[in-house]
A and B are shown apart, each in its own frame.
Chain A
Amino acid sequence: MGRTRSTDWTLDEASFNRLLEWLNPDRDRAGDCYEDIRSRLITMFTYRGRQDAEDLADETINRVARRLPEKEYEYIKTPLPIFFGFAKRVLQEHFKPHPFPTIPVIDQSADAKDSEDRDKCWRECLDELPIQQRQMMLEYHREEKPQMRVLIRRELARRLGMTIGALRIRVSRIQDDLEECRDACLEKAQAEPLMAF
């Protein structure tokens, strides 16, 4: 039987559990660790201009998970360099000569898309957020110099009893919820143009 191509391999439940166990025997911590690693991979691929950053991150994780039954991985206690090594390989294999657009992509959301409705929906959704979540969001994104931002975020994470990486993921989820709320609000506004606002 020939060797399975790494891209054909999929992460099943048993492999995923083995991966989590390898990351940390404590299941909750392992989950945080997994999300943190995935987030770092996405960050790195995104900074390389890759539109498919999430797919590449998942492929990297799959490749590591696929190799875990091998004896040598049993003794590795610091998984980050392993993921980094695989990420580089994935990037090489999916090489694109010019990942960044040659013509600048202008963000046009401030013009056509950022209608009054959109503004109102954002405001409404931010107002509707539970107060702790809104506070967390505003504090995390406080407009400061980078050093101050880092300090504020560290302090916020400490107050909430979580790591700074977990805080970033939490804030990102609140942002996802806000975007869902905004989409629902916009749909409603379009469905009932006379009633809305």
Chain B
Amino acid sequence: MDLIGDEKTIREYLLGGLSEQDREQFEEQLFAESEFHEEVKAVEDALIQEYIAGRLSLPDRGRFEQRLLCTDDQRRQVTFARHLKRYRGQDQRFTNRIKGLLNVFEGDRRTVRVALGAALILVAAGSILLTIITPRGGPDATIAITLHPGQARGSGELQKLKVGKDVQAVRISLVLRDPSYSEYRASVSGSDRGNVVFTSDKLVPQGASNPPKVTLDLPVGDLAGGDYEIDLTGRSAEGERFEVIDSYYLRILR
């Protein structure tokens, strides 16, 4: 789907980069067309996400703060987006912790641990059912794959994953070459690299996995058949910025 408006122009408008004449024309369209209005809102929301994730360039960050943080309501939106993002992250970390705990119990046959494991499974299943599965309106069929860094496109080692019609999500585990970062971010893009189809923030290595991995769940709705690149960035314990760590490659067959 294409936007009615050009995304770059919408960004420029929001960041105050249009001339007076262009701005007036833009606003006329913004006011007259519902769909265009929603597109502008969507671009604004995406800019807010980029801002709170620290992904805006320095000049754009300055323009954003001047243009999109100047009213109480705009600041309120940014604060809200930040908390919503944390809420999602905590949800994801909770799921990862449960998975980590379940791995600890894997293979241990002593009764107490089995009982504890069963109880944990029940708690986890209940919680996950309440917090994740139920809101989506039905059971998820998830398939999993583990990717290693550096298996480059065109090297013949590209991993392939067949995604059937019933599959709802792909669980991708990324093997970490460097597990020392406090948290990770994975960004999935199509073969042209510029087309980011999914990002997952605040990923933390699973407690018991060896080699260490981070896991992200990718909704299949976001994936067409084709080649994908997953860029992994990490934030050091004291660092404010994310550093590029590794890239992973995957071919989806639909």
Contact = CB atoms under 8 A, between A and B. Distances in A.
Contact of B66 (A46, A104, A137): A104
Interface stretch (A20-28, A65-73, A76-84): A76-84
Interface stretch (A1-9, A142-150, A184-192): A142-150
Interface string A89-117: 00000000001110011110110001000
Q: Which of A150, A164, A168 has the most CB of B within 10 A?
A: A150
B42 interface: yes
B222 interface: yes
**Prevailing SS type, chain A contact patch:** helix
Contact of B46 (A47, A80, A145): A145
Measured as residues with beta carbon below 8 angstroms from the partner, the interface class of chain A is 35 or more
Contacts of A49: 67, 70-71
B201 to A, nearest CB: 8
Nearest to B46: A146
Interface in B24-69: 24, 27-28, 30-32, 34-35, 37-43, 45-46, 49, 62, 65-67, 69
Given A44-B31, A114-B82, A143 B87 contact: no
B84 interface: yes
Interface stretch (B73-81, B107-115, B139-147, B174-182): B73-81
A138 B197 CA distance: 17
Interface in A167-189: 168, 175, 178-179
Given A87-B31, A143-B199, A146-B7, A126 B82 contact: no
B14 A47 contact: yes
B13 interface: yes
Nearest to A135: B135
A97 B24 CA distance: 17
Interface in A122-141: 122-123, 126, 131-132, 134-135, 137-138, 141
B34 A107 contact: no
Contacts of A51: 70-72
B78 A107 contact: yes
Contacts of A99: 70
B2 A147 contact: yes
Given A109-B75, A109-B82, A101 B3 contact: no
Tell me which of A44, A107, A168 has the highest count of chain B C-beta atoms within 10 A of its own C-beta: A107
A15 interface: no
B37 A84 contact: no
A150 B84 contact: no
A146 B39 contact: yes
B97 interface: no
A40 B70 contact: no
Contact of B3 (A80, A137, A150): A150
A47 B10 CA distance: 12
Residue among B28, B87, B195, B198 having the largest count of chain A Cβ atoms under 10 Å: B87
B71 A141 contact: no
A148 B222 contact: yes
Interface string A1-45: 000000000000000000000000000000000001000101110
A194 interface: no
B66 to A, nearest CB: 5
Given A145-B46, A153-B42, A175 B80 contact: yes
Contacts of B222: 144, 148
Which 4 pairs of residues, A with B, have the shortest CB-CB distance?
Answer: A104-B65, A135-B135, A149-B42, A122-B83
Given A84-B28, A87-B31, 17 more contacts: A36-B34, A43-B30, A47-B27, A53-B71, A100-B67, A141-B45, A141-B81, A143-B49, A143-B85, A145-B46, A146-B3, A146-B42, A147-B3, A154-B38, A163-B34, A165-B34, A165-B37
18 contacts: A44-B30, A46-B73, A46-B74, A49-B71, A53-B73, A99-B70, A104-B62, A105-B66, A106-B65, A126-B84, A143-B88, A144-B198, A144-B222, A145-B195, A163-B34, A164-B38, A168-B38, A175-B80
